[in-house]
Amino acid sequence: MTAPDQYRVIRPANRLFIKARLSDLTVTQMMSKAHKVMAAIAEGYSKWLQADSKALIKALDGLRENSNDPERKAELFRVAHDIRGQAAGFGYNLASDMGASLCQYLEQRDTLSAKDLHVIASHIDIIRACLSQSLKGDGGTIGQELRDELSGLIERVEQSDLAQLAQ
């Protein structure tokens, strides 16, 4: 048997070219159009963030009933992850940072205690404050105070956990 009989070259059709639209717009015009679309989306983002904060509260309420419900914990993580990824793009940097912090906090814990639920609630409260107090960007001095308070709370909970392990 010769090599041509053993192998056959398959050349798939280039369907991407068919699906991709060619445009007469310049890159500058396309970017301008994209910025206009993003500005229109940004106007309604606070409603999305409000819906996400309600979903966080619902997941937290479920965890208060059963602190180790994996579905509620996964839902809490998913929504916090969405906030982390989206909020900064629409000017809510503090909310984005809180989403990232909450994700990190959840990843570090296999089980959740009452103290952990308090820390989770504090994250959610800060995200809600971003909406109710119109805290855009990093939140200024209020945002820094909220970050400091949350960092202090997390540190106290972690020290308490270490002290319990030492006993």
Question: Number of structural domains, the chain?
Answer: 1
Answer whether residue 108 is part of any domain: yes
For residue 54, the domain's CATH number is 1.20.120.160
**Residue 4 has what pLDDT?**
60
> Does residue 57 lie within any of the structural domains?
yes
Alpha helices in 66-113 (DSSP H): 70-86, 93-107
CA 11 → CA 3, 6, 8, 14, distances in Å? Answer: 18, 17, 10, 9
**Residue at 90 is within a domain:** yes
- Structure confidence at residue 107 (pLDDT): 96
In a domain, 101, yes or no: yes
pLDDT in tens, the chain (167 residues): 555 678 888 888 877 767 767 778 888 998 999 999 988 888 889 999 999 999 999 999 999 999 989 999 999 999 999 999 999 999 999 999 999 999 999 999 999 999 999 999 999 999 999 999 989 999 999 999 999 999 999 999 999 888 877 77
CA distance 83 to 156: 25
Residue 12 belongs to a domain: no
Q: How far apart are CA 49 and CA 13, in angstroms?
A: 43
In a domain, 14, yes or no: no
Residue 10 lies in a domain: no
Domain region containing 96: 45-166
Residue at 162 is within a domain: yes
And the tokens for 51? 């819906």
